[in-house]
Structure formats: C-alpha cells, structure tokens
Amino acid sequence: MIRFLFKGLLRDRQRSLLPAIVVAAGVMLTVFLVCYLTGIMGDFADFSAKFSSGHVKIMTREYAENLSQRPIDLALVNVSELMDKVKQDYPDMEWVLRTQFGGLLDAPDQNGETRSQGPTVAIAIDMITPGSREPERLNLENILVAGNIPDNPGEILISDEFATNLEIAPGDHVTLMGSTMYGSMSFYNFTVAGTIRFGVSVMDRGAIIVDISDAQAALDMEDASGEILGYLPGGHYDGEEAGVVCASFNNKYSDPGDEFSPIMLKLTEQDEFLGGYLELVDSAAFIVVFIFVLAMSIVLWNTGLIGGLRRYGEVGVRLAIGEAKGHIYKSMIYESALIGLIGSAFGTILGLLFAYWLQEKGIDIGSMMKGATMMMPGKFHAKLVPQAYYIGFIPGLFSSTLGTMLSGIGIYKRKTAQLFKELET
C-alpha cells in the first residue's frame, strides 16, 4: 500500500509537491535555528576559554578572590611540580601556563630617548617551545598583519593599531615597564617580531603577546605563573565535565585555610557576568527554539488541515464508488505521514548543510564591533549538535499528520445526498 501511495504522490504533484516544500522549508529553518543559537553560545565560551579563562583555571585562593585585577604578587609558585601533578592526574586534558599583567610600553627614537609610549595589557603564553599549541589556539597565524610569529626569546607580538599609534614596526625595539612579582620596578627590552589584529577593539587598542619565559624573567617569576589553564578533550567547554575535574582537584590539593594553596575554577565560576550571561543565553535559546518549533508545528498542522479539507470532493467520490470510510481515512494519514517524512528528511538535510557552511565560514561581525569595550568573538558560527538531526521531525512529521487526522474526521460526516448535490454542481 505504501508503494501505491508513493507512486500516487509522484504522479499527482499538485497534491504532494507544495505540502512537501512547505514541510521542508519549516524543518530547514528549525534545524538551522537550533544549530545557530547553539553555535553562538559555544563561540562566547570558546573565545573566553582561548584568551583568558580556559575550560578550567588553577590559581591561588587569594588570586581567585581578586581575579579581575590579575595580581601577579599572588601568583602560583613551584608551577613545574604542580604541572606534573595535573598532567598525571588528568592526562586527557591539555595544561598551559598563562600570566596576564599590565605595564607601560615605551618606544625609543634613534637616540634612545622616548618617542612614544602607551599603557598595555600583556598576555604571556608559550610561543617558542616546539610543539606548543598556544599560537594555534590564539589563531596567531591568521591574525598576523605584518612580520612573523616569535621564534626566539625576547620577541613579542603587538596589536597593529597599537603599533600604528606608537609608530613602531616589526624589527623595532621597545621597553616594557612595570612591576615584578615582589613589587619592585621592572624594565625589560623586547624586539617587535610582528603585528596582529585581534578583531576585538578592547585588545587592538593596546595588547601585546609575550613568551611565558620572557614574562617570568621580566617579572622576577622564576618557576611561577599567574594561572594554569586546562582544556578539556575535544576543545569545547562542557560544564558538567569541567565541574567534575574541579571538584576532584580541589578535594585533593586545595586547602581553605591557606590563601596561597591552589584552587581550580571552571569557566563559568571565574566571571560572574560571563557565567550569568551564558546561563541567560542558554535559557533564552531554549525558549526561542521552543516557541519556533511550536509556531512551525501550528503552521504545518494548518497545512495538513487545509490539505485534507480541499480533498472532501475526492473523498465523496471515493465513498460513492463504495470505498470504506476507514480505508480512506487511513490512506490519507499514510499519505500525510509520507509527505511529512520526505519533507522532514529533505528539510533536515538542507538545514544541516546551511549550518555546516556557517560552522566553517561564520558570520563576521567585526565591522559592527568597532569601539566596543567588551571582549566578544569577531565571528559567530553555527554548530552541528545531535538534536538538530531529529528536532525537525517534530513539526514536519507529527504536526502535518495531526492536521490531516483532524480534517479527516469530516469523512465520517459525509452524506450521500450532499455528495450528489456537489457532483451536480
């Protein structure tokens, strides 16, 4: 019977083509919306994790209390020993040293006198160790504007806008002035290896990237680091998995009575604003998806309902030639289910294709973020998630079939006298 109905749908396009297109369009929009909203949330979390927070972060308890100030005088010490421990306890994760600090960057003229200077925020990462994934994680190759990635000690990267304001270029020498871990003045000379464009105004105005070994030398932080960042397997943030790791580490290594003992916090615990924002966006995304699926369900329910009502004349003829009402009703439901299944399948495929394209390419919003003071990703991507493979079948298959089932109730109300009257007209 299904084969017979399928042939009928292929031969009568007026009855099947438009409903299938409507179903496919609705399902495609549903699938795409789910992937896009999920991708936006993931972009915010991944952006924060790559640049500052990691999926989890280890620091001293007192440092965590003043995290927004990045107090290097409260940094972790004996980090090589601690790194060995966490690598042994959590071998599937990747662990890196990071230190963030502020200072004044001075650009001298040909006589060694100050030509220009400006406040800067420095991010210390492992750039020159062979096999380090930090340059890849911060996407340094793709955001490089001029020069090259540092491969020797004493070389730094500076934001292109900052370099233009200071009138410096790759190859020039600069001096970073600040304070050490112990509060004394620090002066350290660097060579500008290259300029980069973060795509985030707050960083492009005055950020530099230095190697972690240079930062330790400049700030008198031998075997010390402000933070240790951990990244979960797969490279994407998972709140539950990060929470398990944090609980395990803190139970083993953290002492509430010692302000300098290490403590591990997951991404959403480090920044109340970011944590609250991600929870808000997650809830809002769920509500938006629910409303959209409900709306599409109503639209496709009406499509099935109207399609069934328009076939009352056909139903009357079939009743007149002796076909049983139950058989007609079942055949209409089967047809609607077949149309919904085909439309949902094509719609899901199209939605996943569009989502995959946006996952790879992204939407560049950098031009809209000029002057922004908040760190945000310059591109938004979609993300293919497991629920995208089946969520479109809720409005596509079940709603359209339900509409046909409701409209088909009229079959049992057809009367022979009314049938002949319609045939005469």
Q: Indicate the residue type of 277.
A: Y
Spatial neighbors of 349 by CB under 8 A, at least 6 apart, are none
Do 325 and 377 fall into the same domain?
Answer: yes
Q: How confident is the model at residue 304 (pLDDT cuts 50, 70, 90)?
A: low
Do 380 and 405 fall into the same domain?
Answer: yes
Do 323 and 411 fall into the same domain?
Answer: yes
Average pLDDT (102-123) is 88
SS3 state of residue 160: helix
Measured from the Cβ of residue 277, the count of other Cβ atoms closer than 10 Å reads 14
Do 214 and 335 fall into the same domain?
Answer: no
CA–CA dist 289, 295 (Å, integer): 10
Lowest-confidence segment of 85-89, 121-125, 142-146 by average pLDDT: 142-146
Do 204 and 61 fall into the same domain?
Answer: yes
* Confidence at residue 373, expressed as pLDDT on a 0 to 100 scale: 40
Higher pLDDT: 234 or 166? It is 166
SS3 state of residue 156: strand
In this predicted model, what pLDDT tens digit does every residue of 236-248 receive, in sequence order? 777 888 889 999 9
In this predicted model, what pLDDT tens digit does every residue of 40-60 receive, in sequence order? 777 677 777 888 888 899 999
Is 35 part of a structural domain of the chain? yes
Is 243 part of a structural domain of the chain? no
Contact assessment for residue 331 and residue 308, using Cβ atoms and an 8 Å cutoff: no
Helix ranges (H only) for 180-311 are 201-204, 212-218, 239-253, 267-270, 272-309
- What are the distances in angstroms from CA 134 to CA 226, 235, 373? 16, 13, 25
Task: Enter the tokens of residue 382.
Answer: 């979609």
Domain that holds residue 143: 56-231
Is 245 part of a structural domain of the chain? no
Task: Enter the tokens of residue 94.
Answer: 């990747």
Do 303 and 215 fall into the same domain?
Answer: no
CA–CA dist 3, 271 (Å, integer): 59
Do 341 and 324 fall into the same domain?
Answer: yes
Measured from the Cβ of residue 318, the count of other Cβ atoms closer than 10 Å reads 18
Instruction: Provide the phi-psi class of 240: left if phi over 0, else alpha when psi is between -120 and 50, else beta.
Output: alpha
Is 248 part of a structural domain of the chain? no
Q: Would you state the torsion angle of the CA atoms of residues 109, 112, 115, 120, taken in this order, to the nearest 10 degrees?
A: 110
Average pLDDT (369-397) is 67
CA–CA dist 182, 149 (Å, integer): 30
SS3 state of residue 385: coil
- For the chain, the average pLDDT equals 79
SS3 state of residue 168: coil
Among 230, 211, 207, 208, smallest CA distance to 221 is for: 211
State how many domains the chain has: 2
In this predicted model, what pLDDT tens digit does every residue of 223-277 receive, in sequence order? 999 999 999 887 777 788 888 999 999 999 988 888 889 999 988 787 655 555 6
Do 316 and 375 fall into the same domain?
Answer: yes
Q: How confident is the model at residue 292 (pLDDT cuts 50, 70, 90)?
A: low
User: Does residue 390 have a pLDDT over 90?
Assistant: no
Task: Enter the tokens of residue 153.
Answer: 């000690």
Helix ranges (H only) for 362-379 are none
Do 70 and 212 fall into the same domain?
Answer: yes
Do 89 and 215 fall into the same domain?
Answer: yes
Do 203 and 282 fall into the same domain?
Answer: no
* Confidence at residue 375, expressed as pLDDT on a 0 to 100 scale: 47
Higher pLDDT: 352 or 412? It is 352
Average pLDDT (324-341) is 77
The HSE-up count of residue 338 (CA atoms within 13 Å, CB side) is 19
DSSP string, 261-277: SEEEEEHHHH-HHHHHH
Is 250 part of a structural domain of the chain? no
Is 301 part of a structural domain of the chain? yes
Do 100 and 219 fall into the same domain?
Answer: yes
SS3 state of residue 183: coil
Is 207 part of a structural domain of the chain? yes
Contact assessment for residue 190 and residue 64, using Cβ atoms and an 8 Å cutoff: no
Is 249 part of a structural domain of the chain? no
For the entire predicted model, the pTM comes to 0.67
Mark which of 202, 231, 260 sits at the end of a domain: 231
Mark which of 168, 199, 231 sits at the end of a domain: 231
User: Does residue 183 have a pLDDT over 50?
Assistant: yes
Average pLDDT (398-424) is 62
Average pLDDT (328-342) is 78
Name, of 93-97, 294-298, 365-369, the range with top average pLDDT. 93-97
Among 406, 417, 89, 128, smallest CA distance to 253 is for: 89
Task: Enter the tokens of residue 297.
Answer: 């369900």
Average pLDDT (5-26) is 67
Packing angle, helices 13-48 and 325-361, rounded to 10: 30
Spatial neighbors of 339 by CB under 8 A, at least 6 apart, are 9, 16, 19, 20, 23, 400
- Roughly how many angstroms between the first and final C-alpha of the chain, as a whole number? 33
